[in-house]
């Protein structure tokens, strides 16, 4: 969905249509969730401090998120996807993968089904979306992003190399600003450069991730699509009124959030197979760290310990502290049976 939260606000309030709409926190430490395309013309983008967005776009309309309304429309879009495909994997309220391999025997047929989905979304929600059709997840997501807004792009297997090679390496899904700087520092500016880079160089600089990045640069992604139940997640996060500096206080917050998440799992009779933490620094640089569990569980003590382990072993805490902490669990399944730990 294109500029989803802002587009919903423009849909519900005709006076906002054609104007710069910025959805996010309105307090002094607020952050932009979504900006309409009109606001983006002023340089406003998601994850930007709201205070800066106000300076860039003083005539913008700033509104708080209405997640219940966004979820209502998201559910309607998801129902359209389920009509088109037996396998739908949501990524967020405004984005999802769906698999057409069992519904279409060619790319032309798949494109026709996907075009029908796009048209139904427009008719049934009065909103526009961008759709990408491709052989795998990475390429499909890229296709949906290259033709926004209101885009529709099909990447066939024989067009992959010509499309990918000239794009900057930052276009690869999962390459953030830090990794992009490291790749550029190695002279790998374009995806085509990464595709032909010496494997031993990538191994030395990035470890196992280097081979994964090179596979994506070739347009290869064997990650299967998961169903809706498997792609759900539960998380809790807080932006603090002041930056947390003390490491003990930060750990206490991680423990508290982890227990909250575990209680939600237990209430919903769910088990998780991944635990992750999210840290945002005062500079707004945000990192996530995740661990995959050997068995599905909902034990508060174990989830808490894994989250704390991630904090201590995989997060660098500096003198500036942190402004946001989050704990989440994923790869959820119904708790019809539990594998009990032999040693707690």
Is 263 one of the annotated active-site residues of the chain?
Answer: no
Give alpha helix (H) positions in 268-299. none
265 in Cβ contact with 272 (< 8 Å): yes
What's the CA gap between 187 and 194, in Å, rounded? Answer: 9
What's the CA gap between 149 and 7, in Å, rounded? Answer: 11
- Of 95, 180, 251, 263, catalytic: 95
Q: What share of the chain is helix, strand, coil (3-state, %, to 5)?
A: 45, 20, 35
Q: Which residue has the tokens 């002041």?
A: 242
First-to-final CA distance of the chain: 44
Q: Are strands 270-280 and 322-330 parallel, antiparallel or unpaired?
A: antiparallel
Based on DSSP, count helices (H) and strands (E) in the chain, helices before strands: 14, 12
What's the CA gap between 101 and 159, in Å, rounded? Answer: 19
Which pair of tokens denotes residue 148? 């926004």
What's the CA gap between 179 and 186, in Å, rounded? Answer: 11
What's the CA gap between 299 and 344, in Å, rounded? Answer: 10
What's the CA gap between 22 and 70, in Å, rounded? Answer: 15
Interacting residues of 198 by C-beta distance below 8 A, sequence separation 6+: none
Interacting residues of 203 by C-beta distance below 8 A, sequence separation 6+: 210, 211
Which pair of tokens denotes residue 74? 């998201």
- Which residues carry out catalysis? 95
């Amino acid at each position: 969905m294109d500029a989803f939260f802002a587009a919903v606000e423009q849909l519900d309030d005709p006076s906002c249509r054609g104007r710069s709409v910025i959805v996010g926190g309105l307090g002094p430490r607020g952050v932009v969730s979504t900006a309409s395309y009109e606001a983006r013309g002023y340089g406003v983008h998601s994850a930007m401090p709201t205070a800066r967005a106000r300076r860039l776009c003083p005539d913008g309309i700033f509104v708080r998120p209405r997640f219940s309304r966004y979820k209502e429309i998201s559910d309607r879009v998801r129902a359209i996807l389920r009509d088109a495909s037996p396998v739908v994997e949501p990524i967020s309220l405004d984005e999802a993968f769906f698999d057409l391999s069992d519904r279409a025997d060619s790319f032309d047929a798949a494109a026709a089904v996907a075009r029908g989905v796009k048209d139904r979304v427009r008719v049934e929600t009065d909103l526009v979306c961008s759709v990408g059709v491709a052989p795998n997840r990475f390429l499909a997501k890229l296709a949906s992003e290259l033709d926004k807004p209101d885009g529709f792009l099909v990447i066939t297997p024989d067009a992959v190399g010509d499309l990918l090679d000239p794009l900057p390496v930052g276009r690869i899904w999962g390459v953030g600003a830090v990794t992009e700087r490291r790749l550029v520092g190695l002279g790998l500016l374009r995806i085509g450069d990464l595709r032909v880079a010496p494997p031993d160089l990538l191994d030395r600089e990035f470890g196992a991730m280097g081979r994964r990045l090179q596979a994506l640069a070739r347009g290869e992604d064997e990650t299967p699509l998961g169903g809706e139940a498997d792609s759900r997640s539960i998380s809790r996060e807080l932006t603090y009124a002041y930056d947390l500096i003390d490491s003990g206080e930060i750990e206490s917050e991680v423990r508290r959030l982890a227990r909250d998440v575990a209680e939600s799992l237990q209430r919903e009779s769910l088990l998780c197979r991944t635990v992750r933490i999210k840290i945002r620094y005062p500079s707004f640089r945000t990192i996530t760290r995740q661990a995959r569990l050997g068995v599905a569980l909902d034990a508060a003590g174990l989830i808490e310990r894994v989250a704390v382990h991630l904090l201590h072993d995989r997060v660098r805490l500096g003198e500036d502290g942190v402004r946001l902490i989050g704990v989440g669990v994923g790869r959820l399944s119904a708790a019809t049976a539990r594998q009990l730990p032999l040693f707690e």
